[in-house]
Amino acid sequence: MKITSIRSHVLQYDLPEELGYSQQYYAKRTAHIVEVSTDEGITGWGECFGPGPVAVANKGIVEGVIQPMLLGQNPLDRDVLWHKVYNLLRDHGQKGMPMQSLSGVDIALWDIAGKVAGLPLHTLIGGAHRRQVRSYGYGMMLKRESVDDHVARFIDEAAAIRDMGFAATKMKVGLGPREDVRLCEAVRRGVGEDFPFMVDANHCYTTSDAFFVGRALEELDAYWFEEPVAPEDHDGYRELRAGLSVNISGGEAEFGRWGWRAILENRGLDIAQPEVCALGGISEYLRVLALCHAHFTPVVNHVWGSAVAVATNLHLLAAMPPMPGGLNPWEPWLEFDTTDNRFRDQLLQEPLDIQRQVREKNGLVDVPQGPGLGIEPDRDFLRAYAI
């Protein structure tokens, strides 16, 4: 079997309303879907992390840089091909966009391997430790409105996400440390006493501001404090983890086994959040997962993007071994964005229908059972949203 083409489908539409997090507001939803074709008619699908113009630039890397390295190669040699691409790109990007681009291609090669074997991705990896995964819903994005308006909206939105059936919820912060504490109090009020909530700072704080917010999160019994400081600030992570009782999480902006080795050895994470569509694809995710578990660090995958990314993560979460294991083991969660996303809800011929599953199964979502990723994108949809 030979690879005959590698194509990027960059999709985009205008969101019904502008959304924000601590770094910027955005008004468009973008997805970058990768399609690997073979001479035997089997097609693999993957996805690259990266919004807007980043997706457009990554399309250039996928089609213009990686494709020529892999044309004519056997797609089943995915680990050989991974190292060929990585070694040739090492001088030009051990992190960032080259790795995001490689990720989408690698995921598509795993999809092909599953289709050839007639096995779902989770079986190819080693089997399902769980047939269903509990999902948490994130929302409570920033908008161009007053702090008081944020507070009122966050109370309502937090309660609404809880009522959708999700197992927990996650909010954004980023208005400023004092204002952010008010937002966190609003979310605790919205969800009530016992419901878990998490706080995502998208690395907007200095270490001292993160301590200020983190102490409030201890009082509010928040479950985790995500990306409190810049991903490069290893000292900040280590000091926060040592000084706060709230779980410190992060890692979505880290790449490859060498980057992950550094942040795990630094001892700054209670919960690791690898992003399979960015860190190097499924091949590298499995190595990073092993590293995390070698450090006894629990993993909750970062999930963002289209139905391709969600399906990929459902398989990975199913195949994740219990760590450390037990009668009632710690279980990973599926991250789910509750804001408007047609690329997740409408891309597939048979949608995953996560929201309905969450509502009907008390927060649980089934793992896809078809070969490979177990999904088939709708080509008319791909054409309609291509930019």
Query: Which residues are part of the catalytic machinery?
Result: 302
What count of other Cβ atoms lies within 10 Å of the Cβ of residue 132?
19
Shortest Cβ 21–Ca ion spacing (Å): 8
Nearer to Ca ion, 49 or 385 (CB): 49
DSSP per-residue letters across 201-227:
--S---HHHHHHHHHHHHHHT-SEEES
Nearer to Ca ion, 13 or 21 (CB): 21
- Distant-in-sequence, close-in-space partners of 95: CB < 8 Å, separation ≥ 6: 254, 255, 256, 259
Distance CA 132, CA 74 (A): 33
Among 200, 254, 270, 284, binds Ca ion (CB under 5 A): 200
Stretch that binds Ca ion, among 51-59, 193-201, 214-222, 356-364 (CB under 5 A): 193-201
What the block records as the tokens of 65 is 């840089």
DSSP letter, residue 177:
H
Spell out, one character per residue from 121 to 160, where the chain touches Ca ion: x when CB under 5 A holds, - when not: ----------------------------------------
What the block records as the tokens of 76 is 């089943």
Residue in 321, 313, 315, 323 with CA at minimum distance from that of residue 273? 313
Nearer to Ca ion, 239 or 337 (CB): 337
- Is the distance from CB of 334 to CB of 276 less than 8 angstroms? no
Residue in 306, 337, 307, 341 with CA at minimum distance from that of residue 166? 337
Stretch that binds Ca ion, among 130-138, 200-208, 212-220, 350-358 (CB under 5 A): 200-208
Shortest Cβ 148–Ca ion spacing (Å): 25
- For Ca ion, the nearest residue by Cβ is 200
Stretch that binds Ca ion, among 87-95, 156-164, 198-206, 278-286 (CB under 5 A): 198-206
Shortest Cβ 252–Ca ion spacing (Å): 5
Residues 285-324 that bind Ca ion (CB under 5 A): none
Measured in residues, the chain has a length of 387
Nearer to Ca ion, 171 or 318 (CB): 171
Nearer to Ca ion, 85 or 141 (CB): 141
Shortest Cβ 243–Ca ion spacing (Å): 21
Q: Which region holds residue 368: left if phi is over 0, alpha if psi is between -120 and 50, else beta?
A: beta
Shortest Cβ 169–Ca ion spacing (Å): 14
Give the binding-site size for Ca ion (rule: CB under 5 A): 1
What the block records as the tokens of 371 is 């070969």
- Distant-in-sequence, close-in-space partners of 197: CB < 8 Å, separation ≥ 6: 158, 168, 169, 170, 171, 187, 188, 191, 222, 223
Residues 353-382 that bind Ca ion (CB under 5 A): none
Stretch that binds Ca ion, among 91-99, 195-203, 281-289, 361-369 (CB under 5 A): 195-203
- Is the distance from CB of 312 to CB of 277 less than 8 angstroms? yes
Nearer to Ca ion, 75 or 274 (CB): 274
Shortest Cβ 317–Ca ion spacing (Å): 17
DSSP letter, residue 65:
I
Environment class of 111 (CB within 10 Å of its CB; exposed 0-12, middle 13-18, buried 19+): buried
Nearer to Ca ion, 277 or 375 (CB): 277
Stretch that binds Ca ion, among 40-48, 78-86, 118-126, 192-200 (CB under 5 A): 192-200
Which residues would be at the binding site for Ca ion (CB under 5 A)? 200
